[in-house]
Amino acid sequence: MTSRTYNDAASGTYGQFIPGLSVDTARTRARLIQLRRGSDFRTNIGLANPTAVQETVTIRLFNAGGAQVGSDVSVTLHPFGFHQVTDIFPADVADGSAEVWTDTAGGAFFAYASVVDNVTGDPVFILPVSKAGDLWIPAAAHVSGYQGTRWRTDVELANGSASSAATFTVELLESGRDNSHPKSATVQVDAGATRRLDDVLDGLFHRSGSAALHVTADRSDASISSRTYNETSSGTYGQYIPGVTGGDAVTPTHPVRLVQLEQSSGDATGFRTNLGLVNTTAAAVDVTIALHGWDGTGLGTVPVTLKPYEFRQIDRIFRSVTSSPVTNGYAVVTTSTSDGKVLVYASVIDNASGDPICILPE
């Protein structure tokens, strides 16, 4: 189960992808990063209680240096209740984070942030981040795209230690090539702090185009996230892309499915779907992408062979197999390579507004 919540405007839609969550993934403590407040953005934080217990949840806000911003926010959640705190930061914060927890016996919660562009009204949906020393950003860009879009990516690095600095190594996996020997850069993040790498491909690597990023840290409590957005003269339209682990990859015994995909017959209205792949191994990998309509009808397959550590995005992928419009389609991605491991994503873009959402496998 997945969903898209959107602002329905005359010039198109501006939305955020919200996946379905299993009750057993509810938490008692979570961290949300890549938050902000100012004239251009605001942050809402939402909580849902999947238990039959009334609970108290505390939200503590921080700036990039790890200093607390304002006072703790206490929220009482009724059994199976929901609550959203709008514009939660009491002061402007260019790069913020939040710690969320409950001490209620038997309590647990889902937490999210929605960071909204004040000019365009476009939101991105942010879930708590995974902590690991080896993470991947499946897609990043500094490139011009269809319909006059201008894509940029900001990356967030977060150090989960309250006492020690962390060193992050960011490797650039460029599109369409063997990346066995990638360009890399190191970034220091102080204890308890976050650091944002604005327009990372240009700012850190002086590169244009599209790529994936492989990020390692010298701490296992590190976390990363990103926002890739269409930059316009009147604000931004973006998609949140979290850092993922190699355990999320397609393998010979673990096919994955991407849902809620669309492709319109024309390019001026409706939607288009791009599908991206990242080979996380040092050997070539064969991948098959099977595309389906809403009712399960097979529309065709797209075979791909990826070079070692190659990133590749297939734009308007349904056009590879059909000229007909596709509504609520899906893709099943498999590999027959014995040691193959491939990360996948879909980006569904509103042709009129240029607003994307990033869809990760179920």
Number of domains in the chain: 3
Band (pLDDT 50/70/90 cuts) for residue 362 is confident
pLDDT tens for residues 318-353?
A: 999 999 999 999 999 999 999 999 999 999 999 988
Same domain? For 203 and 279 the reply is no
Question: How is residue 201 written in tokens?
Answer: 């491909």
Q: Of the given ranges (12-16, 46-50, 274-278, 330-334), which has the lowest mean pLDDT?
A: 12-16
Identify the domain boundary among 97, 126, 155. 126
Same domain? For 196 and 255 the reply is no
Predicted TM-score of the model (pTM)? 0.93
Same domain? For 240 and 266 the reply is no
Residue 79 has pLDDT above 80, yes or no: yes
| Dihedral of alpha carbons 145, 146, 150, 151, sign | negative
Q: How far is it, in rounded angstroms, from Cα 321 to Cα 52?
A: 48
Q: Which of 195, 213, 249 is CA-nearest to residue 63?
A: 195
Q: How far is it, in rounded angstroms, from Cα 68 to Cα 167?
A: 23
Same domain? For 236 and 255 the reply is no
Q: Of the given ranges (2-6, 88-92, 186-190, 322-326), which has the lowest mean pLDDT?
A: 2-6
Point out which residues pair with 43 in neighbouring strands. Answer: 115
The residue segments making up the domain with residue 220 are 134-247
CATH of the domain at 35: 2.60.290.11
Residue 147 has pLDDT above 80, yes or no: no
CATH of the domain at 278: 2.60.120.380
Identify the domain boundary among 247, 277, 292. 247
Computed over every residue of the chain, the mean pLDDT equals 95
Identify the domain boundary among 96, 126, 156. 126
- For residue 218, the model assigns a pLDDT of 95
Same domain? For 170 and 242 the reply is yes
Q: Which of 121, 126, 97, 114 is CA-nearest to residue 40?
A: 121
Same domain? For 31 and 58 the reply is yes
